[in-house]
Amino acid sequence: MTRDRDKRGMFTELTTAEAVIKVLEASDDPVMTAKEIADHLEVSRDTVGRKLAQLLEEEKVSQKKVGARAVVWWIQD
């Protein structure tokens, strides 16, 4: 899959932090994995991971490691 570039030659965003928040808000589950969010948005887990890291820095989401490699995410109160 080739990605579009903007006028400056930069790759266009595949998703936004706001889209990640909307998926978390719409979920019936209290927590979600990056993979689950990525599946909803039809983007890679890495793409969602970058947005989640941004949201974590902005203190809009929280995370918890729940297994050897599993991490769950939720919207901060």
Domains of the chain by range and CATH? Answer: 17-75 (1.10.10.10)
Of the candidates 43, 59, 42, the one whose C-alpha atom is nearest the C-alpha of residue 73 is 59
pLDDT at 14: 76
The pLDDT value recorded for residue 5 is 65
Measured in whole angstroms, the distance separating CA 61 from the mean position of its chain's CA atoms is 10
Residue 6's pLDDT is: 61
Give the span between the Cα atoms of 25 and 75, in whole angstroms: 8
Q: Which portions of the chain are predicted below pLDDT 70?
A: 1-7, 9-13
Q: What are phi and psi for residue 62, nearest 5 degrees?
A: -125, 165
User: How much is the CA Rg of the chain, to the nearest whole Å?
Assistant: 13
Q: Is the pTM of this model over 0.75?
A: yes
